[in-house]
Amino acid sequence: MRKLTIAALCAAAMACGGGDEAADPASRKFTYGAAGAATLEEQAAADLAQGSAADAQLVQSGTSSDGSSVAGLADAMASQAWGSATVAVAALRAAGIERAVTTVRPAADLTGFDDPGCVTVTTGRISYSGCTITMGLDQLSVNGWFARDGATLAWDVTSALHSVGDTYDLDVSSHLTGNLTFGTATVAGRVRSDNAATIHTAQASMHVAYTTLADLALEHDGNGCITGGTLELRRVWTDRAPGMPTTGEYADAGLMFTWQGCGIVLVSRSM
What is residue 241's predicted lDDT score, i.e. its pLDDT? Answer: 82
pLDDT score of 2 more than 70 = no
Mean pLDDT over 131-145 rounds to 87
Residue 99 has pLDDT above 50, yes or no: no
How sure is the predictor about 268, in pLDDT bands with cuts at 50, 70 and 90? very high
pLDDT in tens, 192-217: 999 988 888 888 888 889 999 999 99
Pairing of strands 253-261, 264-269: antiparallel
As a whole number of angstroms, the distance between CA 117 and CA 127 comes to 11
Cβ 104 vs Cβ 160: under 8 Å: yes
pTM: 0.81
| 88 vs 241: which has the higher pLDDT | 241
Cα–Cα distance between 146 and 178 in angstroms, integer?
Answer: 9
What is residue 112's predicted lDDT score, i.e. its pLDDT? 76
Q: Categorize the per-residue pLDDT at 110 as very low, low, confident or very high, splitting at 50, 70 and 90.
A: very low
Kindly report the average pLDDT of the chain as a whole number. 80
Contact 3, 16 (CB under 8 A): no
Q: What is the largest CA-CA distance in the chain?
A: 65
The stretch 74-90 carries a mean pLDDT of 72
Q: What is the pLDDT of residues 43-80, one digit of tens each?
A: 999 999 998 888 777 777 767 656 667 888 898 899 88
Q: Would you tell me how many other CB atoms lie within 10 Å of the CB of residue 219?
A: 18
Q: What pLDDT shows up at residue 104?
A: 37
pLDDT band at 233 (very low <50, low <70, confident <90, very high): very high
Torsional class of 224: left (φ above 0), alpha (ψ -120 to 50), beta (otherwise): left
The pLDDT tens digits of the residues spanning 10-47 come to: 233 333 334 445 789 999 999 999 999 999 999 999 99
